[in-house]
Amino acid sequence: MNDPIVLEGNAAVEEFDVRKYIRLQMMPHFLCPGCGHGIALRALLWAVHELGIDKDRLAVVSGIGCAGRLSAYIDANTFHVTHGRPLAFASGLALVRPDLHVVVITGDGDCLAIGGNHFIHTCRRNLKLTCLMLNNEVYGMTGGQVSPTTSETRITTTTQLGNAEPHFDACALAAAAGAGFVGREVTHHVPKLKDVMRAALEHPGFAFVEVMSDCTEIFGRKNDMGSSPEMILRQKSEIRPSAYRDTVETPFRPNTLPTGVLMCNERPEYGAAYRQYAQTVKSAGDGKQKRG
């Protein structure tokens, strides 16, 4: 039962219906109208469906926040744990249950502020685990405080005059800290987002995906970014993959952001090495018992 997972390939003979993967009795969910987190959740479940992952083999761990709340809506094994610690919890789970697909859903505050330390060390270990960080540039759940990813000059409840702190590039951070897979996508491109998540789920090591998500009710409102449709259309016009910058100089659109699979390497995965050590110790122990 505890054998590491082997993906059986695409079991998506059936058309994807998100309702087969959510807890219907919990719907409608608690997110505000237009919140991008819902779109990200759909993309994840779509990727799970395409890979043919059995719900019983899926474990979703999430921290606290609007993003953290998402695990509650998934009809699988879900764990809603303490703020900033979903990666720590998930690491333990992934080590003892390599037969599970362990997925962490976390917010930018959850992952990079209170959970920043856990984040860099999880990247460093490169344990097989998928981490989706929904980046809405703000602490949505607690009323819109500044987060480590809030862009410069943006207004939040704690930066009323505009944010003066430089923000983290979460993907660069993950890559520098040693994550085996790093990807980024916006919620506007749902099929692409699904593909990045799918590639992340298939990756044998630690896979980090940053999802650029819209906090419509708080961040959007405070920064005069318009209604939900305007915010999502803004992703299309303002967030452009860096390839655009490489081919066409876009002086009027400096806000380019690389998207897609940004890095993917074959660094040794921690879990396998860990289990091998454990096995050695275990067999040594067994030998002693026989002698005794």
Ligand X SMILES: Cc1ncc(C[n+]2csc(CCOP(=O)(O)OP(=O)(O)O)c2C)c(N)n1
Residues at the site binding ligand X, with contacts judged by CB under 6 A: 64-67, 83, 107-110, 114, 134, 136, 138-142, 147
Which of 19, 152, 115 minimizes the C-alpha distance to 74?
19
Residue with Cβ nearer ligand SF4 (187 or 216): 216
217 binds ligand SF4 (CB under 6 A): yes
Sheet containing 58-62: give its strands across: 77-80, 58-62, 101-107, 129-135, 206-212, 181-186, 260-264
Query: Least separation, in Å, of the C-beta of 124 and ligand SF4?
Result: 29
Q: Which residue is nearest to ligand X (CB)?
A: 107
Distance in Å, CB of 136 to ligand X, minimum? 5
* Contact (Cβ atoms closer than 8 angstroms) between residue 113 and residue 147: yes
33-56 as b/e: b if 16+ CB within 10 A: ebbbbbbbbbbbbbbbbbbebeee
Q: Which does 218 bind (CB under 5 to 8 A by kind): ligand SF4, ligand X, another protein, none?
A: ligand SF4
Size of the residue set binding another protein (CB under 8 A): 28
Nearer residue to another protein within complex by CB, 229 or 268: 229
Site for another protein in 3-62 (CB under 8 A): 17-19, 22, 27-29, 31-39, 42
Q: Sign of the CA dihedral 4, 271, 41, 9?
A: negative
**Pairwise CA distance, residues 136 & 216, whole Å:** 9
Name the strand (E) or helix (H) holding 124: helix 116-125
Enumerate the β-bridge partners of residue 8: none
Q: From the CB of 185, what's the least distance to ligand X, in Å? A: 17
Minimal distance in Å, beta carbon 31 to ligand X? Answer: 9
Beta carbon of residue 190, minimum distance to another protein (angstroms, whole number) = 4
Question: Considering only residues 13-52, where is the footprint of ligand SF4 by CB under 6 A?
Answer: 31-32, 35, 37
Distance CA 185, CA 195 (A): 10
Window 184-213: residues binding another protein (CB under 8 A): 187-188, 190-191
Contact 3, 98 (CB under 8 A): yes
Q: Which residues are paired to 211 by β-bridges?
A: 134, 185
Q: How far apart are CA 25 and CA 171, in angstroms?
A: 35
Residue 233 interacts with which of another protein, ligand X, ligand SF4, none, CB < 5 to 8 Å by class: another protein
The smaller minimum CB distance to another protein, of residues 37 and 128, is found at 37
> By C-beta, is 66 or 100 nearer to ligand X?
66
Position among 77, 106, 135, 136 found at the interface with ligand SF4 (CB under 6 A): 136
Q: How far is the CB of 235 from another protein (least distance, A)?
A: 11
